[in-house]
């Protein structure tokens, strides 16, 4: 106990509610204290509380007085800052840092702040602000940031000290601590936690007064008669309810936090997480069917670990589940783009090599690193200088472990979810109304503005930025505006030549503190770490991403959705016995493209090759035969008249006539429908044409690898999507 005692004698400095004070007299009854205003106050010993001993030599004093309970509740930083402010205020008011002539420091009283100097309080505050800024520059500010302290701020400190004493100088942001909750009895706090825990989103939220009532009821039922401080208990309950959630939706989200897919985690390797999303593109395109401008959407897939854009498609309003499936098809196959002189190729299938090198060095030659400021042992793709534009540029493909999206209907559709299930891909989703959960791709949509603003059809991010002539029809627009395929080609080039080669603030090279790495460099670096990246790749991979329809092959062909398909390749399968492909019937699986119903495809059980089966009447019509358009036309045909139900052949002939008439003279109400169907049908034709070319190239390059399954194996389940995968390896990893 002796070590905790503080010797109080006449002339000593103590700390009171109003600031520093000098001990005038000490006796057995108490002490007399003189404050900075010169007033003497008698304090009996029962009202004096001993506190910690401080060193007066550095401007700190022993603290005594009855305000100790509130002062002790503050942390050390808050008390030190309040004492620092007190010294400044006392020097402004009295000319002495400790507020008393008896405790004067060398050079005091300071003539600048002496009340007898005649300067007003405002002038003294302004002079003190200049002095503090000078002390901050010379390192004598005591570790406190006073560079932004103005005369007005010091004036407020003086008034706060006059009204609230020393506690008025405490920074209220520091004073907001939960230590005040320690004054609430433990049993009361436990009851509060139990009551608030009932609000999990299933029960209606009530106000704080009702929560207090329920806490009292629970304590009464438990046999406790506890009274908690009113103010502290009110703040405690408000804190608990704020943490729990203000609405039932927030309460449900907080309840699932930590046990559901509501938290992000760092993607460490390429393909670990792929983020996908769709956005309205801020530039108009030319639509030949409408004869004017129209809006489109862009659907993208990004590798989270490297920020590389794996796939991008321009689709009409609005994107559907099949568009999302084709995006995943693009994300899983590597592309290449070749620059020769001033000609630039479109994204093309990269083939089936043994390995892909994402480096720009010439074979057998040292790279030309002239002008590069950093060490470049193998590749010209440094952290500062991008490789030359000429040559081949590669867009990698990955096999995602997880695909992250929002709750858009196209991503929650059975078609897309079934595709991810077949691929063995997890599907974590963002919380509803929380786009920041997928913030990486949302930020990329802002970056797309850099591409959109280069186009003549740019319409601004909102109507306040839109030009008067944007979207007007006419022959000039047909020449100026890009079509949807041209826009897709432009955006893909922009991805390769601009986005992938620009430093990204969100990327950091592993093992270094350097940020601002380019996405394609990041992919290179992480590929060296992983060593091998498995990617499903076949020239006919497209058909694994199409919906499967089961149908029986008859003598007249295959009937699907009212259309008859037939081909000589079906010979030998027309009378297949029951159980050939599935146990319950004679049906066999066909690949069906909703964006091109002119044909269907099947994998021949004897050769393993994809075989096309055309619609029998496809030669009679030149129309964008999409599933949606055919359904609309069929519904219109069947609603005509009231006679007997037409036969399938009659309906089929009506569709041919109707679509033919629509293309010759498109009614106004059909223009948007025909425009959307045309855009999707043309994209499907490009996809299948590319697959045909890829199959031809693969058969020429590796004829033995062109046949995927073993002959005679008719069970489609024995040929999973990933049966024929290849992997690409960085040269360093392979050599090691």
What does the pLDDT look like over 180-206, one tens digit per residue? 677 788 889 899 999 998 888 888 888
Answer yes or no: do 234 and 330 share one domain.
no
Sheet holding 610-614, edge to edge: 548-551, 588-592, 599-603, 610-614
Number of domains in the chain: 4
CATH number of the domain where residue 280 is located: 3.30.420.10
On whether both 166 and 295 belong to a single domain, the answer is no
> Has residue 475 got a pLDDT over 60?
no
| Backbone torsion region of residue 142, taken as left when φ is above 0, otherwise alpha when ψ lies between -120 and 50, otherwise beta | left
- Residue 522 counted as domain residue: no
Claim to verify: residue 320 and residue 250 sit in the same structural domain: no
Contact 137, 148 (CB under 8 A): no
The reply to whether 326 and 473 lie within a common domain is yes
- Domain shared by 415 and 328, yes or no: yes
Q: How many CA atoms lie within 13 A of 630 on its CB side?
A: 21
Residue labelled with tokens 């989703």: 429
Q: Which residue has the higher pLDDT, 115 or 669?
A: 115
- What is residue 404's predicted lDDT score, i.e. its pLDDT? 92
430 and 473 fall within a common domain: yes
Chain segment 28-78, per-residue pLDDT in tens: 677 788 877 777 887 776 666 544 434 444 344 444 444 566 676 677 778
Residues 171 and 60 in one domain: yes
- Stronger pLDDT, 137 or 133, i.e. the higher one: 133
pLDDT at position 468 = 67
**Residue 448 shares a structural domain with residue 475:** yes
434 and 360 within one domain? yes
Q: Rounded to the nearest 5 degrees, what angle is found at the Cα of 287, between the Cα atoms of 281 and 288?
A: 165
Is residue 298's pLDDT more than 90?
A: yes
What average pLDDT does the chain have?
A: 76
pLDDT classification of 365: cutoffs 50, 70, 90? very low
Residue 727 lies in a domain: no
pLDDT band at 652 (very low <50, low <70, confident <90, very high): low
Domain co-membership, 695 together with 547: yes
Range of the domain at 652: 541-707
Same domain, 243 and 283: no
The answer to the question of residue 717 being in a domain is no
Task: Establish if 280 belongs to a structural domain.
Answer: yes
591-615 pLDDT, tens digit each: 999 999 899 999 988 888 899 999 8
Report whether 162 contacts 211 (CB < 8 A).
no
| Largest pairwise CA distance in the chain | 121
H or E stretch including 670?
helix 668-701
Residues 103 and 196 in one domain: no
Give domain status of residue 729, yes or no. no
Domain boundary among 206, 223, 256: 256
Q: Which residue has the higher pLDDT, 411 or 357?
A: 411
Q: Does residue 35 fall inside a structural domain? A: yes
According to the model, what pLDDT value does residue 326 have? 94
Which residue has better confidence, 690 or 136?
A: 690
Query: Quick check: 224 pLDDT over 50?
Result: yes
Domain end position, chosen among 256, 287, 302 = 256
Is 218 among the domain residues? yes
Whether 267 is covered by a domain: the verdict is no
Residue with tokens 């393909």: 271
Give me the helix-helix angle, 668-701 and 648-664, nearest 10°: 100
């Amino acid at each position: 106990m002796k070590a905790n005692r503080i010797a109080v004698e006449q002339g000593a400095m103590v700390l009171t509610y109003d600031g520093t004070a000098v001990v005038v007299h000490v006796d057995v009854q108490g002490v007399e204290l003189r404050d900075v205003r010169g007033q003497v106050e008698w304090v009996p010993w029962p009202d004096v509380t001993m506190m910690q001993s401080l060193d007066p030599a550095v401007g700190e004093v022993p603290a005594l007085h009855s305000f100790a309970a509130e002062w002790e509740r503050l942390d050390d930083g808050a008390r030190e800052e309040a004492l620092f402010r007190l010294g400044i205020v006392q020097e402004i008011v009295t000319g002495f840092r400790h507020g008393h002539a008896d405790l004067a420091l060398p050079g005091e009283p300071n003539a600048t702040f002496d009340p007898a100097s005649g300067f007003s309080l405002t002038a003294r505050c302004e002079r003190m602000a200049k002095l503090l800024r000078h002390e901050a520059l010379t390192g004598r500010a005591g570790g406190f940031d006073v560079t932004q302290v103005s005369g007005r701020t010091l004036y407020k400190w003086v008034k706060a000290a006059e009204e609230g004493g020393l506690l008025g100088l405490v920074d209220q942001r520091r004073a907001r601590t939960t230590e005040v909750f320690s004054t609430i009895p433990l049993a009361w706090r436990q009851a509060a936690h139990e009551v608030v825990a009932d609000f999990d989103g299933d029960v209606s939220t009530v106000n704080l007064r009702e929560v207090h009532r329920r806490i009292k009821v629970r304590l009464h039922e438990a046999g406790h008669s506890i009274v908690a401080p009113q103010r502290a208990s009110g703040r405690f309950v408000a804190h608990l309810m704020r943490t729990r959630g203000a609405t039932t939706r927030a309460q449900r989200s907080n309840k699932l936090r930590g046990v559901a897919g509501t938290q992000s985690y760092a993607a460490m390797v390429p393909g670990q997480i792929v983020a996908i999303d769709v956005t309205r593109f801020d530039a108009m395109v030319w639509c030949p069917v409408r004869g004017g401008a129209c809006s489109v959407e862009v659907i993208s897939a990004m590798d989270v670990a490297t920020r590389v854009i794996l796939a991008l498609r321009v689709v009409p309003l609005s994107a559907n589940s099949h568009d999302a499936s084709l995006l995943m098809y693009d994300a899983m196959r590597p592309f290449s783009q070749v620059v020769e002189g001033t000609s630039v190729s479109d994204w093309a299938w990269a083939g089936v090599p043994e390995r892909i090198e994402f480096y720009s060095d010439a074979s057998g030659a040292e790279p030309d690193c002239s002008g590069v400021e950093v060490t470049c042992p193998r590749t010209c793709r440094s952290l500062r200088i991008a490789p030359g534009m000429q040559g081949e540029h590669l867009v990698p493909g990955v096999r995602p472990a997880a695909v992250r999206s929002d709750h858009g209907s196209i991503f929650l559709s059975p078609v897309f979810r079934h595709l991810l299930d077949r691929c063995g891909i997890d599907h974590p989703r963002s919380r509803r109304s929380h786009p920041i959960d997928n913030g990486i791709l949302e930020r990329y949509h802002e970056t797309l503005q850099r591409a959109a603003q280069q186009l003549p059809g740019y319409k601004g991010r909102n109507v306040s930025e839109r030009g008067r002539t944007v979207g007007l029809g006419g022959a000039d627009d047909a020449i100026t505006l890009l079509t949807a395929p041209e826009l897709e080609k432009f955006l893909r080039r922009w991805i390769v030549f601009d986005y992938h080669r620009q430093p990204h603030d969100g990327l950091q090279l592993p093992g270094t503190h350097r940020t601002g790495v380019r996405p394609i460099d990041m992919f290179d670096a992480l590929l060296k770490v992983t060593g091998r990246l498995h990617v499903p790749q076949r020239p006919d991979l497209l058909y694994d991403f199409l919906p499967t329809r089961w149908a029986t092959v008859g003598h007249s062909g295959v009937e699907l959705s009212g259309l008859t398909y037939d081909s000589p390749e079906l010979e030998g399968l027309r009378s297949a016995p029951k159980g050939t492909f599935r146990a319950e019937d004679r049906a066999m699986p066909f690949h069906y493209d909703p964006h091109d119903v002119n044909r269907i495809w099947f994998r021949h059980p004897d050769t393993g090759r994809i075989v096309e089966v055309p619609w029998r009447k496809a030669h009679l019509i030149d129309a964008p035969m999409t599933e949606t358009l055919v359904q609309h036309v069929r519904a219109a045909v069947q609603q005509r008249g009231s006679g007997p139900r037409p036969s399938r052949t009659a309906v089929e002939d009506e569709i041919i006539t109707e679509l033919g008439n629509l293309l010759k003279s498109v009614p106004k109400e059909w223009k948007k429908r025909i425009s959307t169907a045309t855009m999707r049908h043309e994209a499907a034709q490009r996809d299948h044409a590319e697959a045909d070319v890829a199959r031809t190239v693969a058969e020429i390059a590796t004829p033995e690898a062109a046949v995927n399954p073993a002959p005679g194996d008719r069970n489609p389940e024995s040929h999973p999507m990933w049966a024929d995968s290849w992997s690409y390896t960085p040269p360093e990893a392979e050599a090691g």
